[in-house]
Amino acid sequence: MAPPDGRPIVTLHPRLLALAIPAFLLLAAPALAAPPSPAANPAPGEIGVTIGPATKLPIPRYVSLKTDRVNLREGPSKDHRTLWVFQRAGLPVEIIAEYETWRRIRDSEGTEGWVLHSLLSGRRTAV
């Protein structure tokens, strides 16, 4: 019996169907695979890591303070109020955002604010 629009009905022989299902599963296997473990260190562009618009480096990343006196500001310009003054070179901080020459950082106690990029060193240190 043909459908009303005149198209032929296509059926697969049971033996061909038995071959088609494993072939489909073989092709679909990568999509059905388990997601990578959360312990894996994500590369730039993967979940949890973004690329900074100014430096093209991964965010978040760890750096340290370059000088003994670093003003932590409320926003990304010298017009913004100073929230805190760091007084120790080499203090480790985490860069969590970028805006032109400014970097939003977080220290080990969770304090966040903006600093000028020239006051940061790419050297990683520890507390």
63 CB-near residues (< 8 Å, 6+ apart): 92, 93, 94, 95, 105, 120, 121, 122, 123, 124
pLDDT digits (tens, 9 = 90+) for 38-73: 444 455 555 667 998 999 999 999 999 999 999 999
Q: Can you give the residue ranges of every domain in the chain?
A: 50-121
- Residue 27's alpha-carbon distances to 15, 36, 108, in angstroms, are 19, 19, 47
Question: Shortest CA distance to 63 belongs to which of 111, 120, 127?
Answer: 120
50-121 has which fold? SH3 type barrels. (2.30.30)
Mean pLDDT value of segment 92-121: 96
Distance CA(81)–CA(92), nearest Å, equals: 23
What integer pLDDT is reported at residue 47 of this predicted model?
A: 62
What integer pLDDT is reported at residue 46 of this predicted model?
A: 56
